[in-house]
């Protein structure tokens, strides 16, 4: 059996290795147009910033190492330019010699990946403008930085690559501005959770221009001017486009393969395309969202590796299926960790789901053990069934551990209420006897059983201020004096029984505290005395983070690069 694979990296390289493990006699050829067949995409920004110092560490396998171990013919600098399904051949160009030849196949696997989205804007080919997707891109940026010693950079895009690159360029002492058309970074998060990311990157000296549209670029002496719609341009020494990726599927389109959303390759759960004996995996394929069941593009390394293995199984006569992509991810943002799994509120709303959420701010380990730090968790679930839909966590130590537990719970079909029953490992340096994941389950359990009702940050401003409701802050006077939501009156929870006469009966009571725990206790107390009580989801800490971001976005200081030089 002759297997031709177009593209290496995650999907293609993992498929090639799996095919060899299953079939020692298969003839496997991989064509990769770049010079690297298996490299660590996610590590590229850290090489630019100097965290990874040896460029060889970016390369997971070389053609020589792959041949030595697997006897797979890895040909770099070879570009497949056409597929001929009727002949079962591909046309290949050797990019070093320009030789063109045809290669036959019995089975063909496409792993072309995705290319950086490059909008058709004036000046997009400016000399000091870069994209970051391949090792070659990384080396070009690193060499430019070492040669030109740039002092400033504009990053167009605030996703994973934009944030990681911003951190690494700041580590080099550069002035960095992120320009983003949406009004938040990291669109996998909901706006309220992204606000904490905004605060962190601003604290680290990164300037944010959210809600700004790039109109084009102009070269200037020693730099690039980034043109913005209805705003002053930004001048910087370099620009990096990191506004997302687009499936690289021209080959598939020209060969007549069925295409899906955004031009992605349509595959079934066996990773088979619409043309017999042609498979496709990775960032170029349309997948099924594991939570909603709808078609999606989720370009992540984990799914690509799994798809490569599944395609290899089926190429070799097995029967493996891909269950869908859940979108689990984690990213380091300076000293902060940000993670998500499943869907967010925007996706739940678009899918027409009847959903609810809990927001909590637990510590990463037992409070009496030194060094604990707060994380903020949001867990989404379906109202009727309590099915887990998604989770987002922003914090420090322990975030990755909790998101993986929640990702597993979603995958296995657990309910949000069932999180309370998970038997999770506990020791004071690592967790609490009631783990944050358990706490989320307790909160959902209370909501489901009607023991508590809640309200959220975006409802606070609309609460009546005419005396028809009671707005109560259950924190200590010291906490209250350091900041509180407008018109909320302070009665500490520990004084509530003695001061209950100060709370008018017959009026709804909306209670807030620092994290949501004391306000919950206050609500349980008041409800047993006949009050209609609502607990604030997330606590004042969360409310303050979101409302302060709105102030910061409206009064953002100039970044120091806004006027042309």
> Which residues are catalytic, by number?
42
For the beta carbon of residue 376, count every other beta carbon within 10 angstroms: 23
Task: Report the alpha-carbon distance of residue 475 to residue 485 in Å, rounded.
Answer: 12
> Residue with structure tokens 């839909």?
389
Provide the edge-to-edge strand list for the sheet that holds 509-512: 454-455, 533-536, 509-512, 470-473, 489-490
Give residues with Cβ within 8 angstroms of 68, minimum separation 6: none
Strand (E) or helix (H) holding 214: strand 214-220
Task: Report the alpha-carbon distance of residue 310 to residue 318 in Å, rounded.
Answer: 9
3-state SS, 105-118, equals CCEEEECCCEEECC
SS3 category, 521: helix
26 in Cβ contact with 19 (< 8 Å): yes
Give residues with Cβ within 8 angstroms of 300, minimum separation 6: 325, 327, 328, 329
Strand (E) or helix (H) holding 388: strand 388-395
Phi-psi region of 300 (alpha: psi -120 to 50; beta: other; left: phi over 0): beta
């Amino acid at each position: 059996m002759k297997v031709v694979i177009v593209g290496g990296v995650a999907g293609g390289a993992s498929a090639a290795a799996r095919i060899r493990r299953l079939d020692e006699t298969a003839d496997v050829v991989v064509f990769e147009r770049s010079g690297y067949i298996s490299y660590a995409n996610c590590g590229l920004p850290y090489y630019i910033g100097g965290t990874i110092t040896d460029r060889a560490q970016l390369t997971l396998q070389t053609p020589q190492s792959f041949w030595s171990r697997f006897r797979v013919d890895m040909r770099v600098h070879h570009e497949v330019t056409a597929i001929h399904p009727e002949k079962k051949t591909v046309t290949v160009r050797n990019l070093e010699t320009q030789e063109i030849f045809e290669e036959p196949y019995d089975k063909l696997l496409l792993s072309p990946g995705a290319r950086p989205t490059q909008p058709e804007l004036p000046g997009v080919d400016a000399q000091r403008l870069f994209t970051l997707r391949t090792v070659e891109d990384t080396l070009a940026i690193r060499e430019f930085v070492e040669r030109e010693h740039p002092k400033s950079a504009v990053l167009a895009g605030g996703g994973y690559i934009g944030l990681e690159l911003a951190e690494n360029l700041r580590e080099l002492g550069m002035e960095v501005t992120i320009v983003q058309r949406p009004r938040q970074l990291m669109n996998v998060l909901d706006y309220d959770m992204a606000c904490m990311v905004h605060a962190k990157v601003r604290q680290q000296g990164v300037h944010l221009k959210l809600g700004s549209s790039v109109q084009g670029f102009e070269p200037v002496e020693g730099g690039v001017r980034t043109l913005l719609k209805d705003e002053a341009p930004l001048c910087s020494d370099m620009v990096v486009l990191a506004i997302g990726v687009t499936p690289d599927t021209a080959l598939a389109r020209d060969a007549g393969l069925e295409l899906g959303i955004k031009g992605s390759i349509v595959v079934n759960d066996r990773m088979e395309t619409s043309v017999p004996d042609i498979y496709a995996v990775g960032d170029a394929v349309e997948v099924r969202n594991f939570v909603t069941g709808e078609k999606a593009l989720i370009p992540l390394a984990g799914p690509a590796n799994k798809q490569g293995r599944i395609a290899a199984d089926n190429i070799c006569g097995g029967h493996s299926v891909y269950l869908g992509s859940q979108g689990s991810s984690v990213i380091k943002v300076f000293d902060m960790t940000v993670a998500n799994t499943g869907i967010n509120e925007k996706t739940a709303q678009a899918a027409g789901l009847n959903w609810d959420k809990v927001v909590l701010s637990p510590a990463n380990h037992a409070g009496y053990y030194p060094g604990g730090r707060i994380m903020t968790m949001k867990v989404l679930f379906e109202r009727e069934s309590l099915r887990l839909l998604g989770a987002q966590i922003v914090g420090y130590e322990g975030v990755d551990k909790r998101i993986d537990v929640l990702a597993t719970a979603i995958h296995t079909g657990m309910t949000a209420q069932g999180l309370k029953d998970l038997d999770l490992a506990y020791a004071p340096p690592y967790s609490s006897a009631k783990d944050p994941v358990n706490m989320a389950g307790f909160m959902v359990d209370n909501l489901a059983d009607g023991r508590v009702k809640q309200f959220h940050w975006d409802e606070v401003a609309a609460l009546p201020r005419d005396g028809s409701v009671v707005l109560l802050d259950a924190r200590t006077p010291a906490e209250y004096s350091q900041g509180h939501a407008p018109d909320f009156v302070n009665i500490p929870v520990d004084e509530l029984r003695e001061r209950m006469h100060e709370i008018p009966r017959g009026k709804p009571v909306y209670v807030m505290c620092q994290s949501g725990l004391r306000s919950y206790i206050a609500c349980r107390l008041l409800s047993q005395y006949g009050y209609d009580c609502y607990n604030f989801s997330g606590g004042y800490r969360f409310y303050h983070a979101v409302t302060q971001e709105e102030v910061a976005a409206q009064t953002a200081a100039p970044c120091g690069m806004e006027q042309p030089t």
